[in-house]
Amino acid sequence: MTDDAITLNATDIMRLLPHRFPFLLIDKITACIPGKSLTAIKNVSINEPFFQGHFPGKPIFPGVLIIEAMAQAGGVLSHITAGDVEPKPLYYLVGVDNAKFRHPVYAGDQLEVVVEVERIVRGMWRYACTASVDGKKVVTARILCAPGRRI
């Protein structure tokens, strides 16, 4: 992390993303270098509603929500990089490639999501993403996000 890296709290994130409970899946941005990379934290709480059924007695954070957390982190990076433009675009997840789920994520874990810009073509952002718990990679994927209109 460099001295000029940007950090954001949950309130700052909600100014950039339309997501709200129970679907806001990043709690804090610990580092962001516009146009390059972003590191986000998701605190995986046992109080989240999906744990009632995924799975009773063994609360595992759904992999699809880890991918969504990666997309949300990418959306924040896209907004920060674009600056204060109006109207603000809404970035949609339009592609997931090479997703690998290496280890489960459990209630009580702190998920660290790192997204790195691979390329930007015609407003579409391609990110290399890694999610880790305690320094151990749990998910890797490449995601593609594209801007769309807010509804």
Distance between CA atoms of residues 49 and 129, nearest Å: 25
Hey, what amino acid is at 149? Answer: R
Instruction: Report the SS3 class of residue 45.
Output: coil
Closest CA to 102 of 131, 144, 81: 131
Cis peptide, bond prior to residue 55, ω within 30 of zero: yes
Catalytic residue, candidates 19, 54, 79, 103:
54
Q: Identify whether 19 is a catalytic site residue.
A: no
Report how far residue 129's alpha carbon sits from residue 82's, in angstroms, rounded to the nearest whole number. 20
Residue 119 token pair: 């390329």
Nearest to 94 by CA among 119, 67, 117: 67
Active site residues: 54
